[in-house]
Amino acid sequence: GAVVSQHPSWVICKSGTSVKIECRSLDFQATTMFWYRQFPKQSLMLMATSNEGSKATYEQGVEKDKFLINHASLTLSTLTVTSAHPEDSSFYICSARVRLADTDTQYFGPGTRLTVL
Amino acid sequence: DAKTTQPPSMDCAEGRAANLPCNHSTISGNEYVYWYRQIHSQGPQYIIHGLKNNETNEMASLIITEDRKSSTLILPHATLRDTAVYYCIVRVAIFGGSQGNLIFGKGTKLSVKP
């Protein structure tokens, strides 16, 4: 299957700082990428859809000014958590949409664990 | 909300087949059934998908009932590394459309025991 990477795999930062997470499709081009968040013992929650060359579409309740998404190329999307606070500590996972013969699917990155002190 | 119902947990003996059920009684004619799994502290892994025919790949088999209201994911010879949360997801196959977003429910936690 297609490979999606994320960097960093984990990050610890102080409250009030900004953190950037990169998501790359390694062996294919992805016009659409997605960002999810997962709190402990909970399921994945979709935060936003990132489209190459256009603005991201955010899910209800997700602050677009706090979670900045940039999809500057067909292989890279970035999520910046601005002015991070302890409640932003979570597991952030990206995915990329891949077209198949009859439909499409999403391949996920390994995730980035963010801890805000 | 997720359109599927799965048991919260299941156990399976190593080397035996793991059969994970999923109920999707309100599935529409243009919706596919997808299965993903998430091993602890990793991103979800795509397993298989199907519309109405049974499907098989190197990882698993997907059996969809004739009325499409339920399906079963089969791992033919479960290993300890198959211990994970398995998600059954129903979605419309519209490439590029928001209707096709993956909505994750709570899944089934499969524990493969030696």
Summarised one tens digit per residue, pLDDT across range A16-43 is 999 999 999 998 888 889 999 999 989 9
CA angle A28, B32, B25 (to 5 degrees): 155
For residue A109, the chain B residue with the least C-alpha distance is: B43
B79-100 b/e (C-beta count within 10 Å ≥ 16 → b): eeebbbbbbbbbbebeeeeeeb
At B100, phi and psi to the nearest 5?
-90, 10
Res B98: pLDDT:
59
Q: Please say if the pLDDT value at position A103 is more than 90.
A: no
Q: Please say if the pLDDT value at position B95 is more than 70.
A: no
- The answer to whether the CB of A63 falls within 8 A of the CB of A51 is no
Res B91: pLDDT:
87
Res B27: pLDDT:
92
CB A107 to CB B46 under 8 A? yes
Q: Measured between alpha carbons, how far is A68 from A46 in angstroms, rounded to an integer? A: 14
Q: Measured between alpha carbons, how far is A22 from A9 in angstroms, rounded to an integer? A: 10
- The answer to whether the CB of B58 falls within 8 A of the CB of B76 is no
Res A85: pLDDT:
96
In the numeric block, which tokens belong to residue B108?
């089934």
Sort out which chain A residues have CB atoms less than 8 A from B103's CB and list them. Answer: 46
The pLDDT tens digits of the residues spanning A58-84 come to 999 999 999 999 988 889 999 999 999
Res A113: pLDDT:
97
Res A87: pLDDT:
95
- The answer to whether the CB of A19 falls within 8 A of the CB of A115 is no
Q: Please say if the pLDDT value at position B96 is more than 60.
A: no
Give the closest-approach CA distance of A83 to chain B in angstroms.
25
Sign, Cα dihedral of B76, B81, B85, B89: negative
For residue B108, the chain A residue with the least C-alpha distance is: A43
- The answer to whether the CB of A79 falls within 8 A of the CB of A94 is yes
Taking alpha carbons only, the member of A87, A85, A73, A67 closest to residue A20 is: A67
